[in-house]
Amino acid sequence: MKVVVLKNDSIGDTIHSLPSINEILVKHNSDDIYFFLSKINQYTFFFFKKSNTHLKIFNYSLSFIEKIKVFLFFLFNKIDTAYILCPKNFYFYLPFFFRNTKFSGLCLNANNNKFRPLIFMRKYLYFYLINDRTLEGKRESLKNLQLKLVNEGKIIRSENRLNLKIPPENETNFKTPNKYIFFHFKSDIFENLNWDEKKISNFLNNLSDIHDVLFITDIEGNNYVNFFMEKFNFYDYDKNEYFSRNSKITYLHRIVGLELFRIIANSAKTIAPHSSFTNLSSFYNIPTIDLFYMKSLSKSDLQSYRNAAREFSPFNKKYFRLIPSTNYDKTIKKILLFSKKYE
């Protein structure tokens, strides 16, 4: 039989889908499984790369030509089962045309009467569940919803069939320390918090009193890159060049893909704004500080934070969500207390 998993979305969302993808691997261990991933999350394919799994890469948002390609794939291949694990409207039209394929889909109810797919289209699905974002305080985690979807309403956690060891990508001139903290400096967030170069440097030095520190930052529109290059050890991933400043802190410049995955998965702790980095770290059972930044602390924003915390619940208990504030000393104190707790 042939099985299709429709999952061309972000890396973080794919990390949250790994338990359900594991169930698909177990359930269809002798079937050909085609994973439709995006150019963004294609790096996650190593988790479920098997002799019977196949990768097809699309854009995050399907172009008109890509929609035709998906339609033709279903038309010319006898697909027994398909799992819609990302709520893209186009995928929910496929069950109407391909009635012999068993489509299971995670539907979405959002505020302002927004539904994916439209309610009348759901009857063409073989099985579906609803991620109901209109509920306040009762929302189920995305992991559990997708586990139920794959097993038709039951939460089943089978023996692991995922590949957890991250495969080598390239030989590099940079050797990671035995024990280190991974930190993601997202410039727009910390600029909004009024963290200047002195505060950033002080924060990283405080972390380095616990362990070595490896950190990355966004490149475009970032005013701190030159400062990082001059102040700390510097590894240029593109050029495979390492420059030592005799520091316990190393700035990793333009590191991407599986090399970045490996850095996170082997860290002693991860500190990062809410992203695929915190999701990946939690999946590997690493103590994680999720810097859940909000521009305001209004009632609606706080409720959105609580809803997101429930929907994207962490994989481990060594996970600390922190709303960073412009009170630098207070934020630093909380981060360091958690970091020292899991030395």
**Please, what are the domains in the chain?**
2-150 (3.40.50.2000), 180-341 (3.40.50.2000)
First to last CA, the chain: 49
pLDDT-based confidence at 218, cuts 50/70/90?
A: confident
**Is the pLDDT confidence value at 93 over 80?**
yes
**Is the pLDDT confidence value at 341 over 90?**
no
What CA–CA distance (Å, rounded) separates 83 from 74? 13
**Of 59-63, 222-226, 317-321, minimum mean pLDDT range:** 222-226
**Is the pLDDT confidence value at 269 over 90?**
yes
- Give the pLDDT mean for 299-319: 80
Closest CA to 245 of 225, 262, 257, 228: 228
Name the token pair of 199.
């505060």
Greatest distance between any 2 Cα atoms in the chain: 64
Predicted TM-score (pTM) of the model is 0.90
% of the chain beyond a pLDDT of 70: 98
pLDDT digits (tens, 9 = 90+) for 4-24: 999 999 999 999 999 999 999
What CA–CA distance (Å, rounded) separates 181 from 295? 26
What CA–CA distance (Å, rounded) separates 177 from 167? 19
pLDDT-based confidence at 36, cuts 50/70/90?
A: very high
The single-letter DSSP state of residue 168 is P
- Give the pLDDT mean for 254-276: 91
**Is the pLDDT confidence value at 297 over 70?**
no
| Residues near 331 by beta carbon (within 8 Å), at least 6 away in sequence | 193, 322, 324, 325
